[in-house]
Amino acid sequence: GAGVSQTPSNKVTEKGKYVELRCDPISGHTALYWYRQSLGQGPEFLIYFQGTGAADDSGLPNDRFFAVRPEGSVSTLKIQRTERGDSAVYLCASSPNRDPGANVLTFGAGSRLTVL
């Protein structure tokens, strides 16, 4: 696609529920990133995929968070047993290069998650 697409744009759920957030990166981009942005803060790294594999998941806050990218394109971020503290905007980004440090990331508009 022309840009990074994220769905849903808004998700409201109740504490304890399971949530899936989807990211469709730019076609051909091998690297895909998930970030979380809380109100008034900068984005915080969650996980990085190179192709189908999670090359770095050191930013995932705990084992309730999991992400997959089974075919090396679309990725799904999964959050189990949601808590109010999970409320944030979840940003997805992709890039074409295999040189991660120099990557210019193209971001999606984000999925705003609200846990009541």
Tokens linked to 39: 């109100």
CB of 113 to another protein, least distance (A): 13
Does 100 engage in binding with another protein (CB under 8 A)? yes
Tokens linked to 50: 């190179």
Please report which helix (H) or strand (E) contains residue 13, including its range.
strand 10-13
**# binding residues, another protein (CB under 8 A):** 28
Q: Which of 20, 51, 56, 64 binds another protein (CB under 8 A)?
A: 56
Q: Which residue has the tokens 């990725």?
A: 75
Spell out, one character per residue from 59 to 98, where the chain touches another protein: x when CB under 8 A holds, - when not.
x-----------------------------x-x-x-----
Q: Which of 28, 40, 53, 70 binds another protein (CB under 8 A)?
A: 40
Q: Are 108 and 39 in contact (CB under 8 A)?
A: no
Bridge partner list, 21 = 77
